[in-house]
Amino acid sequence: MKILTIALHKDGKLIPASFELIEAAKSIGGELYTAVLAGNAEPQANELASRGGGKVLAVSHESLDLYNDQVYATVLTALIAKYTPDLVLGPASFYGKALFGRLAALNGGAQASDATGLAMDGDNIVATRPSYGGSVVSEVVKNGGGPFFVTVRGKCFAESKDGGGEVIAEAVDGSAFDSQMTIKESKVESGGAVSVAEADIIVSAGRGLRAAEHLPMIAELADSLGAAVGASRAIVDAGWTPYSQQVGQTGKTVNPKLYVAVGISGAIQHLVGMRSSRTIVAVNKDKDAPIFNVANYGIIGDAFEIVPALTRKFTAELK
């Protein structure tokens, strides 16, 4: 079986998910390929090869420095036609999901999004993914047709640290770089020192904080843990905090080791984005809040007393 992983980058650096995909591919075995597209893909390709990326297909072109759905999909389709992978893996990020919808359509393949596990059942590739807001875990099996396109949720696999690899500089027909879109600039809205999508620990705030002026309390707790700051849709819609921090169905899907929900009731739209977190701690004064149904640990009480106490405790422990 041939597996192709798609490495993506931000600000010239490979995102951690690129190395998680390599580890995901190793978990089921097969002949491994990794594709990386950039203005100058050689440095990134060398890093991928040194960390077990197998045959690293490097495509360099000035139009690839900034992400363009149409160009990326066309170039990758050319590589897929050449190497004929059975399974194509990409990150379940904003760009990854947009890209894989195009790839599946262009290559006549089946797609599964937000996979949390991969396995083989005989000759069949099985992708495990949460459905219905995480209340059901389903197994998606490719049934004939072209390649199986799967986006993998972050933090479900460790990052590949080492292994064999070789870089193959790929030349793609010049027409592949033609696009009806021109990307002139890319700006990333920062949600803080630590990205929500990549964080191992997240402290999220909800409407229970009453006003935006109380958010520094959440930031202080996050700082004491080395965590990212997240938010429910309610306070993003209220203008208290930027969209880049939103966790949930219409925000980011996260999978940290620890998720602390403060003043969040636990509406299904929020749970969709965080319920696969390894450990969930909920702080809420309403003992009947739905968030307690998914929490590993619940603290019923006033967040304005509990959060500062936790911050003091964690700060003292880390000194």
Predicted TM-score (pTM) of this structure: 0.86
State the residue range of the domain holding 294: 201-318
Is 90 inside a domain boundary?
A: yes
Q: Are residues 161 and 260 in the same domain?
A: no
**What is the mean pLDDT of the segment spanning 218-236?**
96
Report the number of distinct structural domains present in the chain: 2
**What is the mean pLDDT of the segment spanning 245-270?**
93
Is 123 inside a domain boundary?
A: yes
> Residue 299 belongs to a domain with what CATH number?
3.40.50.1220
Query: Which of 177, 210, 241 is where one domain is finished?
Result: 177
Q: What is the pLDDT of residue 137?
A: 85
Does the pLDDT of residue 123 top 80, yes or no?
yes
Q: In which band, very low, low, confident or very high, does the pLDDT at 189 lie, cut at 50, 70 and 90?
A: low
Is 103 inside a domain boundary?
A: yes
Q: What is the pLDDT of residue 164?
A: 86
Does the pLDDT of residue 10 top 60, yes or no?
yes
Percent of the chain with pLDDT over 90: 80
CB-based burial label for 305 (10 Å; 0-12, 13-18, 19+): exposed
pLDDT tens digits for range 83-101:
999 999 999 988 999 999 9
Q: What is the pLDDT of residue 193?
A: 58
Q: Are residues 37 and 170 in the same domain?
A: yes
pLDDT tens digits for range 28-77:
999 999 999 999 999 999 999 999 999 999 999 999 988 999 999 999 99
Q: What is the pLDDT of residue 101?
A: 95
Does the pLDDT of residue 2 top 90, yes or no?
yes
**Please, what is the average pLDDT of the chain?**
93
Q: What is the pLDDT of residue 100?
A: 97
pLDDT tens digits for range 19-38:
999 999 999 999 999 999 99
Q: Are 149 and 88 in contact (CB under 8 A)?
A: yes
Is 240 inside a domain boundary?
A: yes
Q: What is the pLDDT of residue 108?
A: 94
Is 193 inside a domain boundary?
A: no
Q: Are residues 137 and 20 in the same domain?
A: yes
Number of neighbouring beta carbons within 10 Å of residue 20: 22
d(CA 85, CA 95): 21
Q: What is the pLDDT of residue 34?
A: 98
Range list of H helices, 64-147:
69-83, 94-107
Query: Which of 162, 177, 192 is where one domain is finished?
Result: 177
